[in-house]
Structure 1
Amino acid sequence: MTYNILSQELLRDNAYLYRHCHPAHLPWEYRLPNLLTEIQQHAADILCLQEVQQDHYEAQIKPALQALGTESGLWFFRGGDALLDRDNVGLILLLQPTGTGDPPGDPPGDPSSCVCVANTHLLYNPHRGDVKLAQLAILLAEIGRVSRLPDGSSRPVLLCGDLNSSPQSPLYSFLTRGRLEYKGLRIGMSPIWSPKLGISRRCRYESKRPKFTPAGPPPAVSDPTLELEEVNSLPNQHHSSDHLPLLVRFRLRP
């Protein structure tokens, strides 16, 4: 489960974005119980949260999650570049599935049975796709290092987070298709990250256009049968974030 729970500081600093919401639904004292109830109802084995304030986490969220049997993960943030340090974090850790036969507390017998889980929150600014790409490149490089096995293969990787990118964006295409399609960029421009971060510039540049010929009549379009009566606001009395949680179920192959 991945969930951006909406930082109270960001809500306060960007109050104009929530003018359509009922004021009683915005205080943290109101939102926290709803968020914890929602997390408990879904009962996910792996929980990745974004926009978690440090003070709220230490004083309230962490104890509440521990009471539900959830353990906190590890912290990873690779600093050194002011342009990339945008108060975003990357969390990367290896999880050993339960029921593998290893006694509690003992190191896992088979390193390949671990799952690499990463959680991130990329920059929001829609005009700084270059910064998002640099953040993602650094994260993927670290994921590759952590998930790599001694024989050169990789452990299964589960990447969660708020990418602040639509499915039509070049960043999403780069992540899902393994290449970046661009127009108007000069090859050989200075990289946004410094060499000391160890990110290689070896990559493939591809630009392809699909070749197709329309055939047959256009598809029929049916008349709308449903009418939206009301557009509710987020956060509201039932859902205490301006994001929706995403959940998926995986089956590990033996």
Structure 2
Amino acid sequence: MASPVTMPTSPPVDGMPHILRLELLFSRTPVESCDVIPFVVLRTPDGDIKSADTIETKTRGTISVQYRWLRSIPRFMCGRINCKNSATLQFTKVDLDDRAAGGAASPGDENDLRPFYCSQECLVHDWTERLRARLARRARAVTLPKTADEADQLRERLRMPLEWGEEDVALDNPAESVEVGWLRKYTPSKTDIGFPLELSCRYVFRQADNKVAIGPNVAIRTAAVRELPPPPPMRRLLAIPSGEDIMTQRRNGCFRILTYNVLAEIYASSQEYDYTPDWALAWTYRQNNLLREIERYNADVLCLQEIQEDHFQSHLFPALARLGFEGIFKSKTREAMGRKGKIDGCATFFRTDKFTLVENRSLEYDTIARARLGDGQQQTQQREALKRLSRGNVASLLILRSREIDRDILVANTHIFWDPEKADVKLYQVDVFLEEIEKTLARVGVDTPVAIGGDFNSEPDSAVYDLISTGAVSPEYRAEDPYGTLSSVRLMHKLKLVSAFTVTGLEAPFTNFTRKYVGTLDYIWYQGLRLTALMEIPSEHDLLGIDDTGALPNSRWSSDHIALMAEFQLPSR
């Protein structure tokens, strides 16, 4: 566990700033290559209380904060094999042979006399293994038991758990501190793995008489820096119909489209995902791991959902631009959750060496609902219907032109409302979405190929799936319409859309995998294209094999959804 904040012992000085709060955002367990970001709250001499960066901007640098990062190198490291953490406790039990026999402790070798561990878990595991190994050696060194009772006693000793008391543990592990950084953010390197970090902050106040006052240090200590976990296992891209893995191959006239709900930071709460370690749920870790995963798939078109506006601007767009992508973002039409930019939406990216952007259109389901139902002031039912439909969901429709064969393609990306109790809202949004696609095709050419990626929040046995795949909805679904909202839509279309994964005979067994829900919600739909390959769905072992959370997200998979990818061949004109 990380140590608590160390506040200055001296009281606040009148006429001087004062640091009121220091904590680490997201998690106090740093991870290699992932930013560690502190949050500092200051009180100014005028009594204004704000974050340090806000006050520094407001005062134009008159009041600022100095940061000093230290690597804490302890004298002893954890004695458990393959554990790289620094020790936080010392076990003083000494002789395993005498303990196993029920006798008094006697001196053993130095390794047994002074073993240090990072946690009680490592202590118990390591000493239990030592005990069993030593008893096993003794069993091999003596003659076989003469009776069944003696054999049972020996087997029981081999299974005996470790027992110990508080008097068997001492806490003493002095550390040496090495300076590693002076900026607000710090990114741990391989050198930091296994060592705690310490951040020391103090204010700097440039007074009116040009004197500079420097405040007392406020410090916080982290847990030991973790090694960056391995990325998700590589998934195969299986050619159709041969089944050959072509992930590393590039074929002329073909392109790959990926759809992925990445789980926005604003929804990734520790309450909703209480099984995920806080460091693995932290956006500073997940943003890097998600990019690492997406880059490995080598797609040409990315349909991403739950992308936060601030993350698109600060991280995702610049990172994907360096990989050769251009991106379009459309935020949901609702209020931000907290600070500006804390709202998610759909982001669509394409490789600029494969496509050029001909047209970009955004679709706001709420805006269309208001246009069709009016302002809701005339009748109570209209007002309630509009309220029910106004969920902020959006879509993006792009016309891309292939650089290889000079052929256009319509790429659509959407995220449909989530609530399973509101099938009418889902149907409304999807019907509007399909109608806009038909209108676009009527304008740019009905023979224009279509590729759709999205989180439709609907299972294969749903009315939404029937509408997309068959072009109509069974009449019984109209009964699930408490305010008559579906009377303003067609609930039919003339597109010939096919779900990419039905080529295998069935949809993917799941695209969302949490402790509360496992099912298929995400799809790639197409028409006017030839499907040439599909990326395999990971097995449950691939998702959970080295992780004890039993669900997504976890230390290797950073969303509660999985990515889907298909390869298509564009037809020539």
Alignment TM-score, normalising by the size of structure 2: 0.35
| Alignment equivalent of 1:117, drawn from 399, 411, 427 | 411
Quick check: 181-190 or 63-72, which moved more?
Answer: 181-190
Q: Does 1:142 align with 2:436?
A: yes
After superposition, residues 192-211 of structure 1 pair within 5 angstroms as: 192=485, 199-200=489-490
Provide the secondary structure at the position in 1 that maps to 2:465. Answer: helix
Provide the secondary structure at the position in 2 that maps to 1:165. Answer: coil
Map of 1:169 onto structure 2: 462
After superposition, residues 228-243 of structure 1 pair within 5 angstroms as: 232-243=550-561
1:232 is displaced (CA, Å) by 3.0
Deviations 1:222-251 (A, max 9, x none): xxxxx9787732111111111000000111
Distance between the aligned counterparts of 1:188 and 1:87, measured in 2? 19
Distance between the aligned counterparts of 2:450 and 2:468, measured in 1? 13
Distance between the aligned counterparts of 2:448 and 2:259, measured in 1? 20
Deviations 1:31-78 (A, max 9, x none): 000011111111111100000010111111111111111101345133
Distance between the aligned counterparts of 1:141 and 1:131, measured in 2? 15
Distance between the aligned counterparts of 2:492 and 2:281, measured in 1? 47
Runs of 5+ unmatched residues, structure 1:
102-112, 205-226
Provide the secondary structure at the position in 2 that maps to 1:148. Answer: helix
- For the 8 Å contact 1:117–1:157, the answer to whether it is kept is yes
Map of 2:157 onto structure 1: none
More strand by share: 2
Distance between the aligned counterparts of 2:268 and 2:492, measured in 1? 40
Map of 2:423 onto structure 1: 129
Map of 2:400 onto structure 1: 95
- For the 8 Å contact 2:467–2:491, the answer to whether it is kept is no
1:9–1:154: structure 2 CA closer, same or farther, 3 Å change rule?
same
Distance between the aligned counterparts of 1:247 and 1:64, measured in 2? 20
Letter in 2 for 1:233: A
Distance between the aligned counterparts of 2:481 and 2:265, measured in 1? 41
Q: Does 1:253 align with 2:547?
A: no
1:241–1:75: structure 2 CA closer, same or farther, 3 Å change rule?
farther
Alignment TM-score, normalising by the size of structure 1: 0.75
- For the 8 Å contact 1:170–1:182, the answer to whether it is kept is no
After superposition, residues 39-58 of structure 1 pair within 5 angstroms as: 39-58=294-313
Q: Does 1:9 align with 2:266?
A: yes
Letter in 2 for 1:179: A
Provide the secondary structure at the position in 2 that maps to 1:180. Answer: coil
- For the 8 Å contact 1:147–1:156, the answer to whether it is kept is no
Distance between the aligned counterparts of 1:188 and 1:240, measured in 2? 36
- For the 8 Å contact 1:148–1:154, the answer to whether it is kept is no
Deviations 1:157-204 (A, max 9, x none): 111100011111121111111121243745999742696xxx557889
Map of 1:29 onto structure 2: 284
Which structure would you say has the larger Rg?
2
1:3–1:189: structure 2 CA closer, same or farther, 3 Å change rule?
closer
Distance between the aligned counterparts of 1:147 and 1:203, measured in 2? 13
Distance between the aligned counterparts of 1:50 and 1:202, measured in 2? 25
| Alignment equivalent of 2:363, drawn from 51, 65, 77 | 77
Count of aligned pairs between the two proteins? 215
1:231–1:182: structure 2 CA closer, same or farther, 3 Å change rule?
farther
Runs of 5+ unmatched residues, structure 2:
1-257, 329-359, 371-385, 495-539
Map of 2:381 onto structure 1: none
Provide the secondary structure at the position in 1 that maps to 2:567. Answer: coil
Letter in 2 for 1:36: L
| Alignment equivalent of 2:314, drawn from 59, 69, 75 | 59
1:6–1:157: structure 2 CA closer, same or farther, 3 Å change rule?
same
Greater RCO between the two (CA within 8 Å, min separation 6)? 1
- For the 8 Å contact 2:362–2:397, the answer to whether it is kept is yes
